Amino acid sequence: MLTRIDHIGIACFDLDKTVEFYRATYGFEVFHSEVNEEQGVREAMLKINDTSDGGASYLQLLEPTREDSTVAKWLAKNGEGVHHIAFGTADVDADADAIRGKGVRVLYDEPRRGSMGSRITFLHPKDCHGVLTELVTSNPEH
């Protein structure tokens, strides 16, 4: 069962400048940052608020680290902006299977490692009214 908006992913060309914009404009601070080699991105998670299910909601800023990454290709086509929306779930495997059973394409056969040690998968945007949708089971340590 989906429990919250976990994060909204925003693709950017320059992570440091984009972080500074969100800090100066809205007062958001970096909660976590990392490089995800598998996905070819450098990212910063800006915590917006805690949620009633013990999770949180974030903005995820994504800068590609290589030209062949999905985010780099998306930026080349679309420019900076909202890349995806992610919903939190206690069980990404079960929810991905249930959604797959409703005819929505799930992009990974098995969930992968996401930000802060989470487990993630994506739903095909053509099956979600043009929105790339991520399912996230947070790592309880974060």
Q: Which of 7, 39, 63, 83 is catalytic?
A: 7
In the set 39, 63, 83, 134, the catalytic residue is 134
Catalytic residue among 39, 60, 63, 83: 60
Decide if 7 is catalytic: yes
Tokens of 85: 């929306």
For residue 41, give the nearest of 10, 5, 13, 66 by alpha carbon: 66
Amino acid at 94: A
> Which one of 39, 63, 83, 84 is the catalytic residue?
84
**Which residue bears the tokens 């089971």?**
137
- The answer to whether residue 43 is catalytic is yes
60 tagged catalytic: yes
Cβ neighbours, 10 Å, residue 18: 20
Residues catalogued as catalytic: 7, 43, 60, 84, 134
